[in-house]
């Protein structure tokens, strides 16, 4: 069964979205502890104008070129957010919201222009909004998988540095860790993860791939290392199962199915998670009530 699956284009696509899920879950943990969950949403929307502008320039849907264009656009969005928050009284959250709306509106406007342009080469650009992994060919899968593996490698190889950077920046600075470089590297891997996933998941829902697995993993562990592993696993499951289900229908967008699976995992984590899951909290509360009742009865007997 597995040999048959991975000898088909669907199998390769599922493998690529699984790797994307691992990368998204890992970088999502960094964004969670940096308290920049909205940043991933803003940058995923900011990538859309870069995709369309690149297509209008090269007049072909070359995934590598579109990813480069999306990356430049998203990186400009990140720089704009930083500039607005540093040069004005506008908070970082407000700056993220502004960049999200402006860049996404620009992207939709340019997409309308591209769809009304002469020729049929623009067909398929709409898939970047909600994602359509089934439209990917093997060369697209190869590019996406390689870049996702690079992101995973950067996070794994620098695990200790990331931990210092996120939890004790003053100590890290005292040890000589280049905080400015780490800021730039964090933005780079976040942008890279977003742009490689926009064809499979879409610019609207790519943020969910970063946020939901990380939040879900918090209900299972207090360890940062374990959180990375669990979040990556949740991302991988969401990517694989969501892509598999979407491949069963004609023209079914991949992104919504991946997000629905991720949401299901979140609900299970929220309910059954051993760290502040609703069931555990309920059982602990019941246990506390029993102990309180027992102590009251003992005092009455005395």
Helices 138-157, 63-87: inter-axial angle, 10-degree rounding: 40
Structural domain 2-301, CATH architecture:
Orthogonal Bundle (1.10)
CA distances in angstroms from 254 to 121, 163, 205, 210, 244, listed in the order given: 22, 33, 10, 16, 9
What are the CA-CA distances from residue 296 to residues 82, 103, 273, 300, 301 (Å)? Answer: 58, 62, 31, 6, 9
| Ranges of each domain in the chain | 2-301
Quote the tokens at residue 266: 């979140």
Phi-psi map region of 59: left, alpha, beta (phi>0 left; psi -120 to 50 alpha) = left
72 burial type by CB count under 10 A (0-12 exposed, 13-18 middle, 19+ buried): middle
Q: What letter would DSSP give residue 283?
A: H
Contact of 194 with 73, CB cutoff 8 Å = no
Kindly state the helix (H) or strand (E) to which residue 210 belongs, with its residue range: helix 206-217
Q: Which residues contact 56 (CB under 8 A, 6 or more apart)?
A: 110, 113, 114, 117
Q: How does DSSP assign 25-90, residue by residue?
A: HHHHHHHHHTT-HHHHHHHHHHHHHHHHHHHHHH-S--HHHHHHHHHHHHHHHHHHHHHHHHHSS-
Q: How many CB atoms lie within 10 A of CB 59?
A: 13
Q: In the structure encoding, which two tokens stand for residue 135, read together?
A: 């439209």
Closest CA to 228 of 53, 83, 27, 89: 27
What's the CA angle centered on 16, arms 30 and 228, to 5 degrees?
Answer: 25
pLDDT score for 105? 92
Task: Report the pLDDT value the prediction gives residue 4, as an integer from 0 to 100.
Answer: 43
Cβ neighbourhood burial of 108 (10 Å; 0-12, 13-18, 19+): middle
Instruction: Name, in order, each residue with C-beta under 8 angstroms of 182's C-beta and a sequence gap of 6 or more.
Output: 161, 162, 165, 172
Confidence (pLDDT) at 233: 96
d(CA 102, CA 92): 15
> Cα–Cα distances in Å, from 69 out to 64, 65, 83, 153, 266?
9, 6, 21, 23, 33
pLDDT mean by block of 10 residues, the chain; 302 residues:
57 87 94 87 90 87 86 92 88 89 91 72 68 76 88 92 88 86 91 87 87 94 93 94 85 86 95 85 81 73 62
């Amino acid at each position: 069964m597995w040999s048959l699956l991975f000898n088909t284009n669907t199998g390769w696509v599922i493998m690529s979205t699984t790797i994307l899920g691992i990368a998204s879950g890992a970088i999502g943990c960094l964004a969670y502890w940096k308290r920049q969950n909205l940043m991933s949403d803003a940058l995923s929307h900011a990538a859309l104008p870069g995709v369309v502008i690149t297509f209008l320039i090269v007049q072909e849907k070359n995934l590598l070129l579109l990813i480069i264009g999306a990356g430049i656009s998203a990186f400009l969005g990140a720089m704009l957010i930083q500039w607005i928050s540093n040069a004005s009284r506008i908070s970082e959250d407000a700056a993220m919201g502004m960049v999200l709306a402006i860049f996404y509106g620009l992207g939709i406007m340019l997409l309308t222009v591209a769809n009304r342009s002469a020729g049929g080469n623009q067909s398929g650009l709409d898939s970047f909004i909600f994602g359509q992994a089934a439209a990917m060919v093997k060369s697209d899968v190869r590019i996406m998988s390689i870049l996702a593996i690079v992101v995973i490698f950067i996070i794994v190889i620098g695990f200790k540095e990331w931990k210092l950077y996120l939890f004790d920046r003053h100590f890290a600075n005292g040890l000589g860790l280049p905080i400015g470089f780490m800021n730039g590297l964090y933005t780079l891997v976040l942008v890279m993860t977003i742009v490689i996933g926009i064809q499979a998941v879409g610019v609207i829902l790519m943020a969910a791939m970063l946020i939901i697995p990380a939040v879900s993993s918090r209900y299972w562990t207090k360890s940062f290392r374990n959180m990375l592993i669990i979040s990556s696993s949740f991302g991988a499951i969401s990517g694989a199962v969501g892509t598999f289900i979407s491949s069963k229908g004609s023209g079914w967008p991949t992104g919504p199915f991946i997000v629905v699976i991720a949401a299901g995992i979140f609900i299970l984590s929220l309910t059954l998670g051993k760290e502040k899951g609703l069931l555990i909290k309920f059982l602990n509360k019941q246990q506390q009530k029993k102990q309180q009742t027992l102590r009251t009865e003992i005092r009455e007997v005395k």
